[in-house]
Amino acid sequence: MTPLAHTALAEMTTPALLLDSTVLERNCEAMARRAARHGVALRPHLKTSKSAEVARLATRGHSGAITVSTVAEADYFARHGFLDLTYAVGIGAGKIDALHRIQRTHGARITLLADRVEAVRAAAERARAIGARFSLLIEVDTGGGRGGIAPDDDAALLAMAGEVQRSGVLSLAGVLTHAGHSYHAEGLAAIRAIAEAERAGAVRAAECLRAAGFTVDTVSVGATPTAVCAERLDGVTEMRPGVYTFFDLDQAARGICTMDDIALSVLATVIGHNPRSRRVLIDAGALALSKDESAAEFRDGLGFGLVCPVDGTAPLAGLRVAELHQEHGLIACDGNSNGSDGDSDSAMFEALPIGSRVRILPHHACMTAAPYDRYHVVRGTGASVHAVWGKAHGWHVAGPGA
């Protein structure tokens, strides 16, 4: 799929999702080395990119096992040859038929997740009815307060494992936890502490199950902040970070990465100047950028994203996407609120003439990338697209021709 390869960025239809493959490869290699150093497998979460090309880079030197968060992703990646999939969202019986079809059609092996006996029972009942079999991980809550059993709730852990074993159609793979709250922690020391709690909780749950005679092959942890900051992963078998492939302002704002590590941006065209409201208009709005402002928790002045020149060099000082409408983004410069900074306005209008292109760095790469159906791949400050990569989006499983 390369109809638009070699197109100059200055001539591209916008908005478009740009991916710098030089940065992407560096990010993938760094995480692969980190996992190897800790002696754990890397099962990258592909919910960020939803792309087979990214998955190939992210699993290089590892087993090819990946993590997904929708049935559509499971289907897409199985069609692209990724056959060892963990579907890391609590399973509902309504997903079993589609996941079974994916296993059968492609010879994939999908591992499910659950934290309640009722959920295991319902999934097993449906699997039995259609002749499906799955591995299953027990979800452990190591502080995020989303899904999962408390790591010291032995009774609940053992009840779950017993239910899985009795089902006849599910087999216990192990335990999984996700320290999602590490996204809201400031400072590397705080994230290091969360990483250790994530590790210790998952290992404790695994030990509880092993002590009762259950086999626990998988002890799975991971979020990008904890994967980057963890000092040790003793007892863990795999990590599942995702956003590290692309990084974003949210990660950069806390020092998990640098601005140079951000591989994803949105290419937009300047479509207007409004001197009265002191805004530059671009054709990338709330849908093209997302309204996510996660990094505002850690750093001021980012608006809905930072504005870089079309060659992808450092953000233009003092500029930010200040407002979003569905298909319009409004760029403002510092000092706009006092209504008197005519010089910086003139400089902004001069730097961003109508018809010029800019790259916007997003707060949260997963949110920004999701609605697009392709990446336009660039290399460093190169002025043209060297490849177009397809991706999954939405929740529905594509038809046989897709």
Q: Cβ of residue 221: shortest distance to a copy of itself, in angstroms?
A: 17
Quick check: 357 and 9 in contact, CB under 8 A? yes
Phi, psi of 228, deg, nearest 5: -75, -40
The terminus-to-terminus CA distance of the chain in angstroms comes to 12
Distance separating alpha carbons of residues 19 and 339, to the nearest angstrom: 36
Point out which span in 140-148, 169-177, 301-309, 311-319 binds a copy of itself (CB under 8 A). 140-148
* Residue 334 or 373 with smaller CB distance to a copy of itself: 373
Does residue 351 belong to the site contacting a copy of itself (CB under 8 A)? no
Does residue 342 belong to the site contacting a copy of itself (CB under 8 A)? no
* Residue 154 or 327 with smaller CB distance to a copy of itself: 327
Point out which span in 204-212, 256-264, 283-291, 302-310 binds a copy of itself (CB under 8 A). 283-291
Interface residue with a copy of itself, options 187, 272, 342, 380 (CB under 8 A)? 272
Tokens 């671009």, residue?
Answer: 282
Give the CB-side neighbour count of residue 73, counting CA atoms within 13 A: 21
Q: Which residues contact 17 (CB under 8 A, 6 or more apart)?
A: 264, 266, 267, 368, 369, 372, 374, 375, 376
Tokens 């996660």, residue?
Answer: 294
Q: Which residues of 214-247 are buried (b: 16+ CB within 10 A; e: fewer)?
A: bebebbbbbbbbbbbbbeebeebbbbbbbbbbbb
Does residue 50 belong to the site contacting a copy of itself (CB under 8 A)? no
Tokens 């949110």, residue?
Answer: 367
Interaction mask 153-182, a copy of itself, x per CB under 8 A:
---------------------------x--
Point out which span in 10-18, 251-259, 339-347, 378-386 binds a copy of itself (CB under 8 A). 10-18
Q: Cβ of residue 119: shortest distance to a copy of itself, in angstroms?
A: 5
Interface residue with a copy of itself, options 30, 159, 271, 387 (CB under 8 A)? 271
Does residue 237 belong to the site contacting a copy of itself (CB under 8 A)? no
* Residue 97 or 207 with smaller CB distance to a copy of itself: 97
Does residue 274 belong to the site contacting a copy of itself (CB under 8 A)? yes
Does residue 16 belong to the site contacting a copy of itself (CB under 8 A)? yes
Distance separating alpha carbons of residues 70 and 76, to the nearest angstrom: 10
How distant, in Å, are the alpha carbons of 274, 279, 313, 323, 337 from that of 346? 11, 11, 22, 19, 15
Tokens 């779950």, residue?
Answer: 160
Decide: residue 383, CB within 10 A, 0-12 exposed, 13-18 middle, 19+ buried.
exposed
Interface residue with a copy of itself, options 34, 273, 320, 359 (CB under 8 A)? 273
* Residue 104 or 396 with smaller CB distance to a copy of itself: 396
Residues forming the site for a copy of itself (CB under 8 A): 11-16, 47, 69-71, 89-95, 98, 115-116, 118-119, 122, 141, 145-148, 150, 180, 269-274, 276-277, 279, 281, 283, 286-288, 290-292, 323, 325-328, 330, 353-355, 366-367, 370-374, 393-396
